[in-house]
Every structure is written in C-alpha cells, then in structure tokens.
Amino acid sequence: MQENEHKEETLKKISGLYQDWFLDYASYVILDRAIPSVYDGFKPVQRRIMHSMRELEDGRYNKVANIVGNTMKYHPHGDASITDAMVQIGQKELLIDTQGNWGNIYTGDSAAAARYIEARLTPFALEVVFNPKTTEWVKSYD
C-alpha cells in the first residue's frame, strides 16, 4: 500500500507540465534568440551569417542567395529568416558592403530578392569582428 501512495505522489498533472515547459521555452527564445548578445551585439542568426560570410570571403561580392545557402548549414530555420537578418545588417552599412537594391529603412522599401543582391564583408568587419584580440572563438557543434 505504501508503494501505491508513493507512485501517486510523483504523478503530476499534464497542464502543470505544459505551463513549466512553455515558460522554459519562452525564456530560451527571449534570452537566447530574440535579444542580441551583450558580448558582440549579434543575435545567433546574425552571428552565423557573419561566420558564413567569412568562410566565403575572397574579396569579391557574393550573391546573397549563396551566402544564405551556406548559412543554412549552421542555421537550418529557413532561408527567409536568414535573408531578412542579413538585409537588416546590410542596411546599416557597417559590417556588410552591399551592392544592389537593399531597400530603405526610412521609406520602408524592401530589398530585392536574394538572387539579385550581392554582399561582402567590409574592411572594418574583417579587422574588428574576426580579430582574435577582439572576438573569442570557441568550438561549436559542427
């Protein structure tokens, strides 16, 4: 009898589990994906874009569609989210040197399709973002 009582005490209602799981997941999304990191100012997708652009860096402009395709190796959440994040970085004209119609943040005009626009890293990005004295590099899952 005592064993049965113990089993009943460990059972938890499913509604309580969903509430706990939702709060855990919501916290993860807000803290790890939606808010830029205090260390480098990037969201994970932006960090992966920059890494991918560094891999493809040869001094020439690359089609954004190619950069997005390469980034999907590290961020398998769809090309639209990667393209949007890249356009947001490119419109600031600090880390990405752009070519083509990247839209306008003041008028709300959207960028052209990824197959029509090109990008490369700026000298500033190459010097600051990828400098071992500035950025601490650690092994990743891949």
Active site residues: 116
Counting Cβ atoms within 10 Å, is residue 141 exposed (0-12), middle (13-18) or buried (19+)? exposed
Cα 134 to Cα 90: distance, rounded to the nearest angstrom: 21
E-strand spans in the chain? 62-63, 96-99, 118-121
